[in-house]
């Protein structure tokens, strides 16, 4: 499970499904996440999971825009 900070405020929860994980365990994690009020998404066990992999290119472009003077802080 990959929570986001601050955990009480952020609704998203990444449920990491590895190749070794049983379907029963996966379903239990999804149900538990929903029971604590999270919006669950499934992703494979890959570096950065989903959100952090999406965030990287956005952050890099923001830095390039700042360095070129396209945008301020």
Whether 2 is catalytic: yes
Between CA 31 and CA 26 the distance in angstroms is 9
40: tokens are: 């669950």
The one catalytic residue in 1, 2, 21, 32 is 2
Environment class of 71 (CB within 10 Å of its CB; exposed 0-12, middle 13-18, buried 19+): exposed
Active site residues: 2
């Amino acid at each position: 499970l990959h929570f986001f900070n601050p955990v009480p405020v952020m609704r998203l929860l990444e449920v990491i499904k590895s190749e070794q994980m049983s379907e029963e365990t996966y379903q239990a994690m999804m149900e538990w996440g929903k029971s604590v009020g999270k919006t669950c998404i499934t992703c494979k066990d890959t570096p950065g999971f989903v959100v952090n992999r999406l965030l990287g290119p956005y952050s890099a472009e923001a830095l390039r825009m700042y360095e070129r003077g396209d945008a301020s802080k």
